[in-house]
Structure 1
Amino acid sequence: MAAALKFILSAINLFLFISNGAGLACHLSDIIIQQAKSGRIVEGKPEYLVTVSNKCECPQSKVVLQCYGLSSVEPVNPQAIRAVDDESCMVAGGRPIARGSPVKFKYAWLTPQDFPVVSSHVNC
């Protein structure tokens, strides 16, 4: 009887450990970049809407994307994304991006830009 009770308590502890996020592993691949044309034309260039989402249960902060200076003929919201050097951009000023709370920004350029995820910090 004592062994069965010990097993049940161990199983409950494991469940609580996992459900509190401690057992979750987040990866760079959990940061999803989606972009689409907004339908607007700015100075003869199509405008793109970019959405940066996190599909992991744990928030991820200090999300850095490769952006090569973030070319745009219209101002880009610096609170959503800003260049930190000639190749990299910081999303949301480094603040955590939680699941279900994406960061969005617009830019206008002749062609869509790639935004590969370079790094992030998991907050779990």
Structure 2
Amino acid sequence: MAATLNYIISAFTIILFITNEASLACHLSDITIEQTRTGHIVEGKPEYYVTVSNKCVCPQSKVVLQCYGLSSVEPVNPRAIRAVDDESCVVAGGRPIARGSPVKFKYAWLTPQDFPVVSSHVNC
């Protein structure tokens, strides 16, 4: 009986360790932003296609990017990204972004915008 209990405690400890190690392995740098010009012009402005990806094994939610209001002459999909104040945007409405399931959106502006990652929450 004691051996079984020790086995269960050891297995539980290993699971907690692995889960904790995975979440510690995630960083803001695992959220990557790639953008390219689509080749389309909207109201005289080039259109850009943006992909927000998570390279970590753990999903990351509440991903916030610096966006300074997300300037665009065309509507931007609010399910993909939306401004929350004059400086920040939330990606995917705060829902988790899993590895292999990027969030994509388009915008049109005179120059490409920078989208530095401000924060995220690791879900592991």
Band the TM-score falls in, shorter-chain normalisation? 0.7 to 0.9
1:100 maps to a residue whose letter is G
Cross-structure match for 1:95: 95
Counterpart-to-counterpart distance in 2, 1:64 and 1:22? 23
Cross-structure match for 2:82: 82
**Within the alignment, does 1:69 sit opposite 2:72 as a pair?**
no
Cross-structure match for 1:122: 122
CA RMSD of aligned residues (A): 2.0
Deviations 1:27-58 (A, max 9, x none): 00000000000111000100000000000000
Cross-structure match for 1:105: 105
Identify, as 1 or 2, the structure richer in helix.
2
| Structure 1 unaligned regions, length at least 5 | 1-8
Counterpart-to-counterpart distance in 2, 1:19 and 1:113? 40
| Structure 2 unaligned regions, length at least 5 | 1-6
Matched-pair identity in %: 80
Counterpart-to-counterpart distance in 2, 1:103 and 1:62? 13
The answer to whether the 8 Å contact 1:21/1:57 transfers is no
Counterpart-to-counterpart distance in 1, 2:47 and 2:99? 26
Cross-structure match for 2:3: none
Counterpart-to-counterpart distance in 1, 2:27 and 2:15? 19
Q: TM-score, normalised by structure 1?
A: 0.85
Q: TM-score, normalised by structure 2?
A: 0.85
